[in-house]
Amino acid sequence: MEKSLQIAVLMGGPGSEREVSLASGNAVLEALKGQGLEAVAVDVTSRELTIPEGTALCFNTIHGTFGEDGEMQSILEGMGLPYTGAGIESSRLGFDKCASKKVFVEHGVPTPASEIIDCKDGIVFPDMPLPYVVKPPREGSSVGISIAKTQEEAEHAITEAAKFSDDILIEQFVEGKELTVGVLDDQPLPIVHIVPRGGVYDMATKYPWMNGEEDNPDVGSDYYCPADFDAETTARIQTAALAAHKALGVEIYSRVDVLLDADNNPYVLEANTIPGMTATSLLPKAAQAAGLEFGPLCERIADLSLSHRG
């Protein structure tokens, strides 16, 4: 892409994933500069956007609320500024776990059975038998999510999830391998197999550095890419991930989370439209396994986005 074009890297944001977003944003900023591109940092601290004059493209690295739910995309389009990644509608669908679940079912994407409960008048329990997963529908990928295996755990999990929203997604618990599949320009990348050291892939095992435990060998997760599956299983997983990406209409890139059960059946959980973008994040790991290093990956996303919206 034209090296003289100014790229504003939007990072931080007003949501619960601000610290993770700052890490992604600063990594992307340095990667773009390393590619010889004119990149500037924009720390977004509220829903008021101030974009530097002369910006040709906004590189969105704001995870979760505001940056990933379509709100910021709508503001940028109103300002006439092109931006990276998913658009308004695909962001809204991808961020809302209830809405994306409905889309997956309508398009035949393999996904765990689910039920939506309404807790506006107090805690209620689903008809679905235990064990199940309790998810606030419009938070970051791991925020407020709990696995409930007993009635006591279910009551606690639903109570906590209800702090985020009245409607709560209850999803059938699928025992299996945690996988994620990056999609770039409608092409699936090599599969990443995630093995959380604590048994559950949550905020603590995703980001041990947030709690000062990056050097603790018992905390965090191990990642294997490309995942060690036969060609048929690999194709089945990548096909399911790509189907989810396309069903939501996601532009440019995403990272789709998948569970693989003991019979090698994939179940799509969700699509992340603004995945982590540090050099050690999962989408960059997958791209690297495909031969695309972090700097060229960031430039590729910028180039595709500018071509799509420029």
Enzyme catalytic residues = 17, 141, 207, 255, 257, 270, 272, 276
All structural domains of the chain, each given as residue ranges with its CATH number in brackets, are: 6-85 (3.40.50.20), 113-172 (3.30.1490.20), 177-291 (3.30.470.20)
120/63 Cα distance (integer angstroms): 27
Please give the pLDDT value at position 16.
Answer: 84
Residue 175, pLDDT > 60, answer yes
3-state secondary structure at position 162: coil
Q: Which residues, listed in sequence order, are joined to residue 10 by a DSSP beta bridge?
A: 42, 60
Helices 18-34 & 294-309, crossing angle to 10 degrees? 90
Confidence of residue 279 (pLDDT cuts 50, 70, 90): confident
Percentage with pLDDT > 70 across the chain: 92
310/307 Cα distance (integer angstroms): 5
The mean pLDDT of 119-145, rounded to a whole number, is 91
Structure tokens at 39: 């990149």
- At 211-268, the pLDDT tens digits run 566 666 666 789 999 999 999 999 999 999 999 999 999 999 999 999 999 999 999 9
Burial of 248 (0-12, 13-18, 19+ CB in 10 A): buried
Global pTM exceeds 0.85 = yes
Residue 209, pLDDT > 60, answer no
H or E stretch including 72?
A: helix 71-78
Confidence of residue 144 (pLDDT cuts 50, 70, 90): confident
Tokens 């994939």 correspond to what residue? 266
Tokens 């890419």 correspond to what residue? 225
Residue 295, pLDDT > 70, answer yes
Q: Which residues, listed in sequence order, are joined to residue 180 by a DSSP beta bridge?
A: 192, 257
Cβ(149)–Cβ(96) below 8 Å: no
Residues across the chain = 310
